[in-house]
Amino acid sequence: MPTLPPKPPGWVLETAHTAYALGLTANGLLLNRFWGARLPLRTDYPPPAEYPNFASFTAAAHLSPEEFPAYAGASYVEPCLKLLLPDGVRDAVLKFEKADLRDGDTYLIIHLRDAFYPVSVALHYRAHHDADLIERWAVVTNAGPLPLTVERLFSAQVHPPLGEPYRLTHVAGKWSAEFQLERETLTHGVKVLESRRLTTSHHHNPWFMLDRGSADEEQGEVWFGALAWSGNWKLTAETTDFFGTRISLGLNDWDFAYVLNAGESLSAPRTFFGYTKSGFGAASRILHGYIRKRVLPHREQLHKVLYNSWEATTFNVSERAQMKIAKVAASLGCELFVVDDGWFHKRKNDTAGLGDWWADAKKFPNGLGPLVAGVNQLGMEFGIWVEPEMVNANSDLYRAHPDWVFHFPNRKRTEMRNQMILNLARADVREYLYGKLYALLSDHNIAFVKWDMNRNISEPGWPDAPGDARELWVRYVEGLYELWGRLRDSHPQVIFQSCSGGGGRVDMGILQYADQVWVSDNTDAPSRLSIQEGFSYAYPASIMEAWVTDAGFNTIPLEFRLHVAMAGALGIGGDLLKWDNEDRALAAKWIAYYKQIRPVVQGGDLYRLHRLDGGMFNALQYMLPDRSEGVLFGFRMFAPQFLPYTTNTVLLPTLHLRGLDSTASYQIEGIEAVRSGAAWMEDGLRLSLPNFGSTVRRIRRI
Ligand code: DGJ
């Protein structure tokens, strides 16, 4: 009797609504089998489809949706791994060795091994059932006695179904104009999004969404993913000539090399992938939920209304001046007072002081203690600004350790904002910073730290590097995480905020350490609307700190500016001493109101009801997951007279609320009618707003 050959193994990871299947072909290729909606039966998922060679020019490995293609053989697609082996061979032939399924089949590890050399790769997959996300990362290990070099290591490659011209959604921007949403159809070739700047960057952000060109906020298939890494990263979106689209995410191979000595490993950062049929809005809510519930150090803890004195006083920080503002901030209802740049040794302007993290003796003759106590007596918590990774040439630290910054011998050290970057890959640098910051946090009642980073790298040299200096791209970020992690462990109650000249370091990696981010140095409310909208695609409102400053003081109504900031974690940043009683009363009123809606804004589901998208009207809604309560925000920008929108009555677009219980009754603040959830969602409502008019209304189930 002929026996059938054994079936090659395959694996299925399922979440509440999605599935991800992979398996081996008879020839041993590890291929993706499926990424989409969860199917009723495990046997429903297709077998891996290995494509035959195409003429003598294109091999199966190039055509087939490999889970983790390495640079080897006749394949020219973007590889996830590129090795330089000890004898100079640059071909990584990965063969399946074994698979481990753990934690009730939710955690899969596929072990691959080179066909000849003692190199192994472990592909990690974790299914987050309730969160509807698949987590992936990869670890490469040198199991041999001789050193080898990793020239590229991505975390994962993923494949939406074959054969579509996909549309890529992502954000682009620059300092003061971060998170601008972009959508483009992918055509043949490779679209690269990346950072070469040592940190995440203002320019792109490590996430993507793919759709078939017709998804919107409410409906349509969307495949999406994000990378948890705060250093040089790379996303490649490749559309092959054979109708395959593949997205890879991981460490940037720009100027990169990482030597693995005997027994050493290198791990690529974590990635998270999801799928939904319910459009971009649902994709965002999946990411928001996971970040809030599983990533942030303080999880869903609500954020205080803070006051930050940077735009009011810049570097002119002193106990007396800060206390004067603090009194007004407290009277408005602020709960946390943050002293920004300018408080430390010899910091008069941006030319001196960075690195010397103790209070300036002239500005604070009795140290920071009296200011902290004064702020606490006003009923507010105290927060402080630091920029630990930086040093000015004019500082005690640099004078003592000029070798601690990134530099090349015989090259000028480029200064940006008069500062250089300390090499956090060095243990002695981290030890110094830990000592100074530990003392700052231990000696004062500090509840909040704003951790800033105001330049990107230049001359990425590390003259005393123990191995290849190009390892710095990874080792710096690992050093940053280690330092930040130690401080978090020693002071677990402190809330950290990640800032990098605004939104230059926002990613799922830093959010393991920072509960909040400063989204942009641009505090002009109309500009802020589009920044906040782009930000909201991947990141939740709870982490989005937003200040009301004096930008637009004479042109944009204060109420509009307050409402824009209330759509995130509200903060105030204007020069309160210049605000008249009317402004202060208005701010106090809306701060009190914000405290009531805070659980909904910071913990609710976001629905982008009407995207700004370069237009003149923007509306969004937050809704508690139990559908009992929501908040509606509406903003009208300036609309010129000749457009019909300028009549203040009915011509703004109809808003169809979302996330309500169709059969329950709801009332919207300011509207008398009580209507069913279905009516508010299907028939909707129209707002009437003047130019630069805005509204915030509670939605209540009754
Ligand atoms: C850049 C930040 O984004 C600002 O908010 C402020 O903290 C300055 N740095 C201080 O130097």
> Which domains does the chain possess?
10-295 (2.70.98.60), 306-514+540-603 (3.20.20.70), 610-701 (2.60.40.1180)
Task: Determine whether the shortest distance from the Cβ of 217 to ligand 1 is under 6 A.
Answer: no
- Distance of CA 421 from the midpoint of ligand 1 (Å): 16
Count CB atoms within 10 A of the CB of residue 201: 28
* The residue to which tokens 């109309």 are assigned: 526
Sign of the alpha-carbon torsion through 153, 49, 27, 12: positive
Distance of CA 153 from the midpoint of ligand 1 (Å)? 34
Q: Which atom of ligand 1 is nearest to the CA of 340?
A: 7
Average pLDDT, the chain: 96
- Pick the residue whose CA is nearest to atom 9 on ligand 1: 501
Is the confidence at residue 646, as pLDDT, over 60? no
Q: Is 207 helix (H, G, I), strand (E, B) or coil?
A: strand
Alpha carbon distance 19, 127 (integer Å) = 9
Residue 303 is classified by DSSP as: P
Nearest to 322 by CA among 303, 335, 337: 337
- From the centroid of its chain, how far is CA 694? 28
- Band (pLDDT 50/70/90 cuts) for residue 520 is very high
In the beta sheet, which residues pair with residue 14?
A: 19
Atom of ligand 1 nearest to the CA of 521: 3
Q: Is the pLDDT of residue 644 over 70?
A: no
Residue 642, pLDDT > 90, answer: no
Q: Is 341's C-beta closer than 6 angstroms to any atom of ligand 1? A: yes
- Residue 125: beta bridge partners? 108, 136
Q: Mean per-residue pLDDT for 279-291?
A: 98
Q: Which of 161-165, 434-438, 545-549 is least confident?
A: 161-165
Task: Tell me the HSE value of 218 on the side-chain side, using a 13 A CA sphere.
Answer: 8
Which tokens sit at 168? 């890529």
Q: Give yes or no for residue 418 having a pLDDT over 90.
A: yes
Phi-psi bin for 601: left (phi > 0), alpha (psi -120 to 50), beta?
alpha
**How far, in Å, from the CA of 135 to the mean position of ligand 1?**
34
Q: Is 550 helix (H, G, I), strand (E, B) or coil?
A: coil
CA of 554 to the centre of ligand 1 (A): 23
Exactly one of 360, 452, 507, 605 is catalytic; name it: 452
pLDDT digits (tens, 9 = 90+) for 602-623: 999 999 999 988 888 999 999 9
pLDDT for residue 2: 56
User: How far is the C-alpha of 498 from the C-alpha of 285, rounded, in Å?
Assistant: 22
What is the secondary structure of 637-697 as a DSSP string? ----TTSGGGSSSS-SPPB---S--TTSEEEETT---EEEHHHHHHT-B-----TT-EEEE
Helices (H), 315-426: 319-332, 369-377, 396-400
Please tell me the predicted confidence (pLDDT) of residue 460: 98
Sequence-distant (≥ 6) Cβ neighbours of residue 87 within 8 angstroms: none
Catalytic site residue 521? yes
**344 Cβ closer than 6 Å to some ligand 1 atom:** no
Q: Which range among 233-242, 335-344, 520-529, 640-649 shows the weakest confidence by mean pLDDT?
A: 640-649
Strand ranges (E), 175-220: 177-185, 189-194, 207-211
What is the distance between the alpha carbons of residues 701 and 665, in angstroms, rounded to a whole number?
A: 6
Instruction: Encode pLDDT of 14-72 as tens digits.
Output: 999 999 999 999 999 999 999 999 999 999 999 999 888 999 998 888 899 999 999 99
Residue range 441-485, pLDDT digits in tens: 999 999 999 999 999 999 999 999 999 999 999 999 999 999 999
Any residues with CB less than 8 A from the CB of 60 and at least 6 apart, and which? 27, 29, 50, 51, 52, 53
By the 8 A CB rule, do 607 and 281 touch?
yes
Q: What tokens does 611 get? A: 């995207």
Query: So what's the pLDDT on residue 690?
Result: 87
Span from the CA of 189 to the centroid of ligand 1 (angstroms) = 39
> What is the 8-class DSSP label of residue 358?
S
Q: Comparing 523 with 644, which gets the higher pLDDT?
A: 523
Cβ of residue 310 lying under 6 Å from some atom of ligand 1 = yes
Q: What is the pLDDT at residue 76?
A: 93
Which residues in 115-244 belong to E strands, given as ranges? Answer: 119-128, 133-142, 148-158, 167-174, 177-185, 189-194, 207-211, 222-227, 233-239
Calculate how far, in angstroms, residue 348's C-alpha sits from the geometric centre of ligand 1: 14
- For 108-123, how does the pLDDT look when each residue is reduced to its tens digit (9 = 90+)? 999 999 999 999 999 9
| Residue whose CA lies nearest to ligand 1 atom number 2 | 501
CA distance 164 to 243: 7
Cα distances from 332 to residues 465, 554, 582, 587, in angstroms, run 52, 21, 12, 7
User: pLDDT at residue 595 above 50?
Assistant: yes
CA of 667 to the centre of ligand 1 (A): 41
Using CA positions, which residue lies closest to atom 10 of ligand 1?
Answer: 341
Helices (H), ranges, 77-123: none
Residue 114 bears catalytic tag? no
Output the CA 302–ligand 1 centroid distance in Å: 23
The CA distance from 214 to 326, in Å, is 50
Ligand 1 neighbourhood includes 135 CB (under 6 angstroms): no
- By most ligand atoms within 8 Å of CB, the mutation choice from 202, 499, 519 for ligand 1 is 499
pLDDT band at 1 (very low <50, low <70, confident <90, very high): low
pLDDT, tens digit (0-9, with 9 covering 90-100), for 352-398: 999 999 999 999 999 999 999 999 999 999 999 999 999 999 999 99
Q: Which of 171, 180, 160, 181 is nearest to 206 (CA)?
A: 171
DSSP structural state of residue 293: I
Tell which wins on pLDDT, 524 or 648.
524
Closest atom of ligand 1 to CA, residue 500: 3
Q: How far is the CA of 504 from the centre of ligand 1 (A)?
A: 11
Mind listing the pLDDT tens digit for each residue in 288-298?
A: 999 999 999 99
454 lines ligand 1 (CB under 6 A): yes
Per-residue pLDDT at 210 exceeds 50 = yes
Instruction: Determine if ligand 1 sits within 6 Å of the CB of residue 385.
Output: yes
Please, what's the largest Cα pairwise distance for the chain? 95
C-alpha to C-alpha distance for 126 and 109, rounded to whole angstroms: 9
Averaged pLDDT, 486-503: 98
* CB 507, CB 171: distance < 8 Å: no
pLDDT above 70 covers a percentage of the chain that reads 98
pLDDT at 650 over 60: no
Task: Provide the token pair at 250.
Answer: 């991981």
Of the pLDDT bands very low, low, confident and very high (cuts 50, 70, 90), residue 649 is very low
Three-class DSSP category at 399: helix
The CB density around residue 374, as the number of other CB atoms within 10 Å, is 18
59 and 53 Cβ atoms separated by less than 8 Å:
yes
Ligand 1: which of 521, 522, 531, 547 to mutate, most ligand atoms within 8 Å of CB?
521
Pocket test for ligand 1, best of 174, 306, 310, 392 (most atoms within 8 A of CB): 310
Instruction: Choose one of 338, 341, 351 to mutate for the ligand 1 pocket test, by most ligand atoms within 8 angstroms of C-beta.
Output: 341
Residue percentage of the chain with pLDDT more than 90 = 92
CA distances from 649 to 2, 615, 616, 621 (A): 81, 18, 15, 21
Residues in the chain: 702
Q: Looking at the CA of residue 314, tell me the nearest atom of ligand 1.
A: 10
Q: What is the pLDDT of residue 651?
A: 61
Q: At what angle do helices 581-603 and 319-332 cross, to 10 degrees?
A: 70
Nearest alpha carbon to residue 637 among 699, 540, 552: 552
Residue type, 554: N
